[in-house]
């Protein structure tokens, strides 16, 4: 902290403000400290303060607000409040009411959509937009192309003026165009000359991917000198340019000054400014530009008069009234004045200096990181200028991490481990495909092949063909602290920076994983041979299983294992990650009676379901029986759901991590509703080693009991041998049955859910400890997945006590 303050003490913490950052945190954001969160996704949504919410609650409970579309006293007072809110929004952007109007929308996206659907497109119009634009801006091109206009992505190039240049206007800005997009349509409007057509140029004040700020001089250059600025492009002769700024990300720290940069349209999001309310944004529009917009639909509030049975409507003339369909979100609008009050007390310039000092600190720390072999750890995007005096970058740090061998850490691995450390950040492309492709150097061929490989937004394909498909982003807000920034940097160092290899008394490496120092392990001679310690069947996915001494094997593994699952009303598969109380539902199968029995403390009676031998029907034959079963599970889980049974003994599909259909590791596998494989095997000795590591933490030891193998929901628990010996097994013989190893089991947050004395508890363990020494290529491995090599000739059984004979790599 002392070193940091030497560099940034004049900027960090609001030294000239009414409250220092420490006071702000202790009085207005106690929930962060109470819950131990480090919140670093302010570009996605900043946080509301507790004082702000108290003022809003007091406002709502002390006043009466009514629909403003009335003449009552309450409605008139609400109308006055809305008018005052509009004035505050305009004032924040230094926009005169004589020049601008504030149209409230449901968010920045709705504001951008409003521009797209009402802009006066013709077949001679052009829509130019910077590569670094949010999808909500890219979507405008659909309106342009549908009307026969052309669309084109552009790159902005800034070059310093030559010393003998006659002007002192700063850097020279050039616009370099990419491929022109056009779409034939049968709905072309009447042809107009190019001189009469209106054109639109869109850019963000700050890129939400990289944090790079755009020079707002673009507004004046495009509007007043487009021919020079667009020189060399097909658009240089086009006139009548209008400019749209997406200020959703940038306005929290440096709102565009519209008196100096008179953009025609500016999109705003309030939850990105001060956290609350959500579902409310605004479009700031120049009054002369608003007259050109062509709105088709009318509604209550936007018309002065209409007649139901003839084609007659008289629209309202004021800009806001003509574009705000229906009743305004007046309670949310009432809340924004408390957010602006907070921002005014700190001032946007002080917020910018505070947040940018943190982002520069983090960037410099990440930039300096080196692995033990001397290779760099971090690749930063859009961070060429790391001086606070430069306004080239906002308080955002976007990067990817490399391993010592030069391969990439997947961004999902970073997010997963950050979450375990209480750090909330963002990964992916952040709905900005142009910036993502530009900074990650992804060609059209790369992008199309990624889509063909199944990659879509928010999936788990973070590295394809050796290239990252997205990045990691941390971003700071007005309440962020140095301690949070340092904790994040420390997390990166401890989790992803490889130290120099140790010699002599260093860690002993066994196979692919680092083991405890050898003196902490028993001598090799003390390990007995392997044998099967227990067998567990889980008839219903994510519900409790039951132990057996012997059990028949079949094509799908253990007979009836994960043959049923519970599905929500929207079609989603319910698991303990979504419904932790599913662990309290107990199951048992009586093979002789052909019954599956299920019980829960929430249900008075046990549920008995008949198992028809050889039947794999999706829908139970008896509708009353189906209703009875689904009603029981609805009561047991506490939400509407239904029980499904696996429909085929030959399907090789399985469920991937986001619970959508995927393919198993081995297409010859036949599994029911398991995630990856027929069997999960856990070693008692490996669990014991994990317990030793966990108990080294005294706080954990005091608060938790020893883990038992069943926390990991194994089908088979083996005893004997060394810890993690199963990592090297290729094939296994248990009794007379043969199995093939499919590799380690990638663990998730589900193993952090425990059921103690009928109570479901969550913690960060044991996944956090496992992540410290069981990480391989982005996966946290514990346990081994198996495939049964079925003997078609005989009915085979597996039993507790069977000898386990592995074939080692």
For the sheet with 426-428, list strands across it: 378-380, 396-401, 471-475, 426-428
Q: What is the rounded CA–CA span in Å between residue 381 and residue 86? A: 36
Burial pattern 162-191, b for ≥16 Cβ within 10 A else e, equals: eeeeeeeeeebbbbebeeeeeeeeeeeeee
Are 710 and 598 in contact, with CB atoms under 8 Å apart?
A: no
At 723, give phi and psi (nearest 5°).
-60, 135
Pairing of strands 531-537, 546-548: antiparallel
Q: What is the rounded CA–CA span in Å between residue 201 and residue 223? A: 9
Q: What is the rounded CA–CA span in Å between residue 427 and residue 413? A: 10
Q: Which residues contact 558 (CB under 8 A, 6 or more apart)?
A: 535, 537, 551, 552, 678, 679, 715, 798
Q: What is the rounded CA–CA span in Å between residue 706 and residue 473? A: 37
Written as six digits, the tokens of 665 are 């590791």
Pairing of strands 126-130, 38-39: unpaired
- Helices and strands, number each (H, E), in the chain: 23, 41
Residue of 200, 218, 226, 208 whose CA lies nearest to 143: 200
Please indicate whether residue 431 is annotated as part of the active site: yes
Residue of 444, 439, 450 whose CA lies nearest to 398: 439
For the sheet with 557-558, list strands across it: 557-558, 550-554, 797-799
Q: What is the rounded CA–CA span in Å between residue 467 and residue 440? A: 8
Are 524 and 725 in contact, with CB atoms under 8 Å apart?
A: no
Are 478 and 351 in contact, with CB atoms under 8 Å apart?
A: yes
Query: To 10 degrees, what angle do helices 482-496 and 411-420 make?
Result: 120
Coil, helix or strand for 342? helix
Residue of 401, 431, 121 whose CA lies nearest to 269: 431
Are 42 and 252 in contact, with CB atoms under 8 Å apart?
A: yes
Coil, helix or strand for 596? strand
Q: What is the rounded CA–CA span in Å between residue 747 and residue 755? A: 18
Q: Which residues contact 494 (CB under 8 A, 6 or more apart)?
A: none
Torsional class of 151: left (φ above 0), alpha (ψ -120 to 50), beta (otherwise): beta
**Residue of 378, 431, 543, 641 with catalytic role:** 431
Query: H or E segment at 474?
Result: strand 471-475
For 478, other C-beta atoms within 10 Å of its C-beta total 26
Residue of 469, 269, 471, 485 whose CA lies nearest to 395: 485
Coil, helix or strand for 88? helix
Give the torsion through C-alpha atoms of 536, 539, 540, 546, to 10 deg: -40
Are 540 and 565 in contact, with CB atoms under 8 Å apart?
A: yes
Are 403 and 396 in contact, with CB atoms under 8 Å apart?
A: no
DSSP characters over 178-222: EEEE----S-PPPP--TTT--EEEEEESB-TTT-BBPPTHHHHHH
Residue of 178, 173, 123 whose CA lies nearest to 154: 178
Residue of 742, 727, 611, 729 whose CA lies nearest to 675: 742
Are 569 and 755 in contact, with CB atoms under 8 Å apart?
A: no
Query: H or E segment at 101?
Result: strand 100-105
Give the residue numbers annotated as catalytic, written as ranges: 431
């Amino acid at each position: 902290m002392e070193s940091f303050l030497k560099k940034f003490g004049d900027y960090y913490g609001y030294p000239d403000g009414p409250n220092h950052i420490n006071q702000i945190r202790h009085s207005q954001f106690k929930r962060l400290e109470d819950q131990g969160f480090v919140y670093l996704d302010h570009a996605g949504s900043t946080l509301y303060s507790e004082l702000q919410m108290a003022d809003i609650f007091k406002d709502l409970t002390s006043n009466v607000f009514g629909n403003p579309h009335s003449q009552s006293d309450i409605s008139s007072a609400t109308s006055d409040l809305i008018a005052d809110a509009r004035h505050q929004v305009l004032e924040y952007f230094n926009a005169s009411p004589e020049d601008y109007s504030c149209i409230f929308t449901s968010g920045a996206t709705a504001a951008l959509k409003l521009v797209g659907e009402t802009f006066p497109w013709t077949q001679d119009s052009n829509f130019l937009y910077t590569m670094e634009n949010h999808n909500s801006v890219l979507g405008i091109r659909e309106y342009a192309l549908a009307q026969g206009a052309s669309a084109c992505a552009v790159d902005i190039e800034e070059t310093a003026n030559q010393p003998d240049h006659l002007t002192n206007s700063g850097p020279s800005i050039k616009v370099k165009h990419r491929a022109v997009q056009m779409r034939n349509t049968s709905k072309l409007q009447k042809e107009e000359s190019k001189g009469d057509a209106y054109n639109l140029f869109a850019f963000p004040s700050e890129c939400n991917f990289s944090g790079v700020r755009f020079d707002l001089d673009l507004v004046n250059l495009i509007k007043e000198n487009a021919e020079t600025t667009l020189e060399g492009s097909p658009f240089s002769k086009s006139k009548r340019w209008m400019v749209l700024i997406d200020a959703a990300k940038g306005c929290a720290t440096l709102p565009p000054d519209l008196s100096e940069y008179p953009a025609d349209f500016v999109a705003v999001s309030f939850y990105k400014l001060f956290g609350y309310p959500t579902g409310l944004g605004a479009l700031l529009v120049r009054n002369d530009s608003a007259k050109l917009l062509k709105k088709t639909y009318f509604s209550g509030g936007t018309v002065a008069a209409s007649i139901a049975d003839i084609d007659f409507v008289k629209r309202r003339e004021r800009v806001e009234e003509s574009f705000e369909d229906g009743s305004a979100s007046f309670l949310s609008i009432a809340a924004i004045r408390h957010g602006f009050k907070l921002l005014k007390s700190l001032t946007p310039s002080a917020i910018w200096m505070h947040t940018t000092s943190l982002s520069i600190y983090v960037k410099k720390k990440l930039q300096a990181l080196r692995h033990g072999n001397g290779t760099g750890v971090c690749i930063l995007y859009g961070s060429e200028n790391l001086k606070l005096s430069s306004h080239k970058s906002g308080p955002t740090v976007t990067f990817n991490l490399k391993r010592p061998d030069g391969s990439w850490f997947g961004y999902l691995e970073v997010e997963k481990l950050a979450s375990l450390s209480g750090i909330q950040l963002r990964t992916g492309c952040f709905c900005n495909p142009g910036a993502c492709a530009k900074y990650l150097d992804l060609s059209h061929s790369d992008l199309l092949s990624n889509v063909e490989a199944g990659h879509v937004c928010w999936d788990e394909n973070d590295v394809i063909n050796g290239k990252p498909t997205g990045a990691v982003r941390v971003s700071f807000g007005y309440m962020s602290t140095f301690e949070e920034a340092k904790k994040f940097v420390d997390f990166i160092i401890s989790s992803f920076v490889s130290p120099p290899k140790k010699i002599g008394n260093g860690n002993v490496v066994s196979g692919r994983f680092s083991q405890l120092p050898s003196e902490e392990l028993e001598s090799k001679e003390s390990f007995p041979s392997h044998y099967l310690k227990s067998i567990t069947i889980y008839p219903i996915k994510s519900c409790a299983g039951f132990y057996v001494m012997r059990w028949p094997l079949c094509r799908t593994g253990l007979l009836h294992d994960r043959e049923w699952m519970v599905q929500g009303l929207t079609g989603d598969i319910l698991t303990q990650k979504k419904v932790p109380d599913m662990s309290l539902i107990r199951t048992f199968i009586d093979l002789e009676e052909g019954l599956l029995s299920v019980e829960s403390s929430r249900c008075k009676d046990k549920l008995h379901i008949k198992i028809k031998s050889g039947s794999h029907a999706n829908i139970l034959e008896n509708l009353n029986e189906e209703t009875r079963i689904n009603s029981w599970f609805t009561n047991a889980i506490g939400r509407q759901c239904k029980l499904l049974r696996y429909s085929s003994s030959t399907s090789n599909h399985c469920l991937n991590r986001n619970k959508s259909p995927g393919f198993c590791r081995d297409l010859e596998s036949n599994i029911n509703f398991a995630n990856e494989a027929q069997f999960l095997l856990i070693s008692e000795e490996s669990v014991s080693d994990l317990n030793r590591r966990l108990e080294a933490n005294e706080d954990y030891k005091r608060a938790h009991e020893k883990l038992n193998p069943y926390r990991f929901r194994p089908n088979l628990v083996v005893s004997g041998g060394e810890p993690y010996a199963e990592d090297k097994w290729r094939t296994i013989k248990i009794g007379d049955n043969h199995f093939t190893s499919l590799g380690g089991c990638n663990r998730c947050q589900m193993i952090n859910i425990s059921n103690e004395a009928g109570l479901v508890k969550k913690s960060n363990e044991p996944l956090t400890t496992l992540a410290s020494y069981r990480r391989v290529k982005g996966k946290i491995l514990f346990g081994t997945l198996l495939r049964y090599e079925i003997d078609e000739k005989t009915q085979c059984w597996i039993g507790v006590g069977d000898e386990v004979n592995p074939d080692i790599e």
